[in-house]
Every structure is written in structure tokens, then in C-alpha cells.
Structure 1
Amino acid sequence: MSKMEEISRMLGNYIDPTATKKDVIECLKRYKALTYRYEEYVFNDGTIKQLLNLQGTIPVRYKGNTYHIPICIWLLDTHPKYAPICYVKPTSDMNIKVSIYVDQNGKIYLPYLHDWHDGRSDLLGLIKVMITTFGEFPPVYAKPKEQTPAYPTQTFMPQPPTSGQSKYCPYPTQQQQQFPPYPPAPLSYSGYGQPGAGSSYPPYMPPGMPTTSGYNAGYVNPSSGQGTGTITEEHIKASLVSAVEDKLKRRIQEKVNQCQAEIQTLKRTAQELNEGQTKINDILSRLERDEQEMTKSISVLQDKEQELDRALEALEQADEIDVDEAVITTAPLYKQLLNAYAEEAAIEDAVYFMGEALRSGVIDLEVFLKHVRQLSRKQFMLRALMQKCRQKAGLPA
């Protein structure tokens, strides 16, 4: 089975399978990394439908490098009338970066989807908007890898603690222990193409780490000014506080980003509700205008009915009308034309009823033919007379 036939079979329950297939085929031709599947989609209300989706990666330029962002586009059975549902699908070595365009579940929110219009919107345009948007706001980032600092090979033998020293093993001082949080990892996607060598981070080295070969080189005891290689409880406390602060800051920032994304979603929903309210108000206004026009039409109809009743009543009370005097011509020529027309119409009726009499057996064929010949001659003369009268009167023939 060819690709076209398989897609046509998958779109059997779609409202407009022809337009949907055309949109899908053009998208697959343009973006070779996308593939199509026919799978179940579970909606928020628990409804399950078999829908066609496009999965794969799209190329995104970010800071001079090209990255391949994994996405999934679900086409509703009403496509292309209504917008599809889009998600970012991070791999195991990626995390979702929450923004106004992507929520914590990976669902994509774009103005192009919000303003989707049948006839003007398609999958190619949607992917182009994704590429442009994700080039400014990447939807995923690589998970930071655990890096163990390379310890020096110099052998260190701890000294017995004195009264003014702590019983802990040698440790960097407070200033050297307060490492900043792990820097954001670059966008690199295992299985989706690696960026160039210029985009990889150098090995992470916390600031203040000594570059000499000695383990304790550069560490100074604040009280004595000499390198003792010891740490106090205040150093440990400050280090723990700094670590907790960094962890809290990261969690707070994640919550803030999540809340901002939810706020943007609520704003869009409120905007849609306001637009819906405006449309409903317009419809109500049109209905009120139609009601007023209908009321006016009903009033006019009632007046016409009353006028007709009065005319009928007047006709019933009037004397009998003479048919011959009902129509009065303005000239003798018009009267001659009218009489000829009336006689010609009477002859047509006579011929019709004679035919009915012949069919019923009231008269025989000989009598029928005799009278038809006589009436036909007279009808011919009357029609010639009417034509001549119309020419004399200047009327169209």
C-alpha cells in the first residue's frame, strides 16, 4: 500500500479528508524528519479518538547553530477547519523549558494556533512559526550531566587536630565553597543530531578553584592567614545555606515560569470568552432588529387585510356588473380589436369542446370536421383582422 493510500485510509473518519491529506503530504515533502502515525488521543474529558499525528523533529536555528526540536502534531477530525493540538516531546536527556509558548506538559501555545482560519492556515505555516518562535525561546534544554572535579594526584595526610582546629577533613574555605548553580546546558539532543563543536560547553570549573597541583594550595585560614587546609562549622553552615538558597531559587523560578504560562493561558481563555460575548451580543442585536421588522410587516399585513375586507364588502353591496359594459375602449379601432380577440378566444373554446364531444361519441367525425372547417376559416379571418388593427393602432404585432 502506497503512502497516499495509507493516509487516505487513516483519514476515513475525517470531515474533509481531501484537504487534510493534501496538507499532510505537503508537510511531509517539506520536512523529511516528520513521520505520520494513526494513534489514540485522550482528551481532557476522557474521550478517546483515533487521530492522525505527525511526529519527528524540525530544524531550529539558535545562536548560530541548528538544533532538531522533537514535536508531535495531532490533527483533529475537523481539520483543517480547526487548529491541531501540538506538543514538544523531549527525549530522556532533555527537560522542558516552560515559557509563554510551552507549558510544563509540553503543550504548545502560539498565536498562529489561536488565530487559526480555514483556508489561510496550514501545517507548513504552523511549522514555520514554530521554527521562528523556538529560535528565540527554545522549548527544551539538555539535562546537566554529573561532573566530578579532577582531584590532584598529590597525596595528602591529615594532621591531628589541635584545640583551635575542627575535627573535619581539610575542605575549601567559604569563599571557595560557594559555587554558583550549574550553568544552563547547551541545546544538544541525543538521537536528533548534535550541534557543532562551537556550541559545546568547556568542562565546568567552579570559580576560585586553585590551578596549582597541591590539594590545599590557595586555601587560607581567615584567622591565621596561613594555609592550614581546615574548615570550620561556620564554613559548613554558610555552604549549606548557599546550596539551599540556590535550590530554592531554582524551584521558585520554575514555579514562577509555570504560573506565568498558566496566566497566559488564562488570559487567552478570557480573551476568547470576551470575543464570544461580543459575538453573542451582535447576534442578539440582529435578532432584535429582525423582530422589529417582523412586527412592522405583520402590522402592514393586517392593514392590507382590513383594506381587502372593506373592498369585498363594498363589492357585495354594489349592483350587478354588466360584463359587456365593464370594459370600455377609447376608440372604435380598439373596440374592433377587442371584439375580434373575444370572438377568436370563443372559437378556440368551441373547437376544444367539439373535440371532447367527438371523443365522447356525442357527434360523429363528419359533423366534427364540417364545423371545425367553418370555425377555422372564421378564426383565420379574425386573426388577420386583429393583426391589421394592431398595425393601424401602432401596437406591436
Structure 2
Amino acid sequence: MDPEIAEWLKQQYQQRDRTYADVEAVLRLFHNFLVPKPETYTHDNGRSQLLLSLIGTIPIMYQSVTYNIPVAFWLPTSYPSVAPYVFVTPTALMLVKAGKHVDISGRCYHPYLAYWSNRTESSLAELIGIMQEVFSQEPPVYAKPNVTQQQQQSSPIIGGYPSPSSSLRPAPPILKYSPRQTAASSVSASQQPGVIPQQLQNRYPSPSPYGSGTQQLTPQQAQLYTKLQSALLEFNTASSREMDNLVTVNKQLNDAETRTKAELQSLRDFDAQVQHQNTIMTRCIEQLNLNIEKIRSWPEEPVDEIICGTSVVHNQLFELVAEEIAIEDTIYYLGKALSQDKVELNAYMKASAKTGKVIRSNFTGIIKVF
């Protein structure tokens, strides 16, 4: 394995040692036929994630002939707690044949994946052996009807995956799965890679188990193929629209999240300012309460002693002026009582005469003071 990929794997995966060991075991068995590389994997909910993938081909034995099936194994970051994602990846010259363990999109299903165990009983190499056995019984791909034999012979590389017969490297083994054996023990040390016949030009089986790789489709099969192709196109179009909508909604949610965080930060700043002002107000109230208690503790002073003149003369003047003001108030209220017939005229005249004498006496006293 490339050192950079190995270092990245050890940083991104939870059980890095187990994952590295399983990948190394597979690469030793399928050297240069399965290539590890970090690739972006899109989950069913639209979330994208960078995962380690093993992309290439695995050999199968179908009708005593070896075929190379293009596949891709994706390892989730929680591997081996979670089973790998297995896909058949047909080239431009092939089509996916949906069956018991493969859907129209190429996704592979098997009870071994459904009941995956993170213990040593389940491993990536053993999974590949099971996929080889399943594909040998029901091939997942077949050649397009309009691909001629001459086009298939023109290139030793089919769909970008290396063909064992086009290179000097031996073909990888076809693993045999046994429920009581591990993937490593299922391959005998003395097993030799099979030899691909020279006359075999199409390395992928035909859609029918009873026909050859170059067999033409019947009208019914062609009609069914057309319907499936149309349905797949409609599905892809609908999926693209839905994906665009999801991307738009995701962008809107991200923008709303950004605005919400900004508003939340603003509210937090405002709350901090309010708390600061509240602290200042509390301190001022406490200071005012202290001042009030201090004032209440002061002794009471007699008003008559506080409001007085600075000398005897000023005190006499103060008393005379106060008495004059009191007499004026008395005359005012006597006149008001007379107008309301509450006081008789004789009583009013007597009181006014007496008050007038007092006023003259006070006036004379004021003159003497000055």
C-alpha cells in the first residue's frame, strides 16, 4: 500500500490496525487488480464522505471460463464495526444485470453483509470470496448488444481495469468461501491461478446463462432493455432534480445557521451589556441605601433654633415680620368670613380695629429696630 494512503488510513479510521491489516491481506491476494485510493462516497441521504476504496476487478469462474468483474469496495470509517459498501462498476461496454444480490444501480446485497460482525469472523478478504462465489452463480454484468467482437479485441484494457491476459502478471485467485474457515485459510497455498483461454475475447458473461457473450438480444429482450433504460433515465433525472433541491435546501440551511449564530452572538453581547448595567445599578442602589441609613441616624435639630437671625436685632425683626404676616392673614380670613355672613359687622369692626392697632404698633417697632 502507498505510504501516504496508509498514513491517511491510520488517521481517519477508528480501528486503524484492523483496517490496515484487512486491506493489506486483500492487496496481497489481488495485487495490482484492486487498487486502494481515497474517494468521495455519497450516502443515500446525500451526505458525502471521503472513504478508502478498493477499485478494480475480481475473477470469477462461469461455465468453466474465467471472467473479470469490475467492482468497488468502500470501507466506512467505523470498519469493521460497519460492513463495507460493495458495488459492481460496469464499464462503458457493459450493463448491470440486476439479480438476487445486485440491484440496477450496481449495489450488492448479501446476508453476509446484513449480518456483518466486527469480530474476526468477518473480514474484507472473506467478503470478496463470497462475492466471487455469488457472481460465479449469477454474473452481475453483461456486454452491450451493440458492442462487436472486434471492438472488444481492440483494447487489452476493458473499462480502465487491467486484464490479466494483457499483462505478464498472474491472475488473482478465486477464493472459496467456507463458513467455518477464514478468508486466509480458504485459499490453498498450492493453488495456482487459472489460465484464461486465448479464444476468449469477451471477459464478461452474457445476460443469459445459456448463451454466449456475443449473443444478440431477442425482440422481447430488446424491448425490455429499452424500457429498463428509459426507466433508469427517468430515475436518474428525478434523482438529479431531487439532489439539486437537496443542495439548495442544504445551502439555505447553512445560511440560516450562519444567521442564527450571528444573531445568537449578538444576543449574548446584549445580555452581557445588560448584566454589566445591572451590576452598576445594584451598586448605586446599595450606596443610596447606605446614605439614607446614615442620614436617618443623624440627631433631630429643633426648627426654631435652626431658623433664626444672626443677632438680637435680626431676631426681633424676624418676629415682627412674622407677626405682621399673621395679622394680614387674619384680616384676609375675617373679610372672607364677613362676606359669607359668618361674622357680624360689629365683631368684624372690633377685630379690624384691634388688628390695625397691632399693625401700627408693629410698624413702629420695625422703625425703631432700624
TM-score, normalised to structure 1, is 0.40
**Structure of higher CA gyration radius:** 2
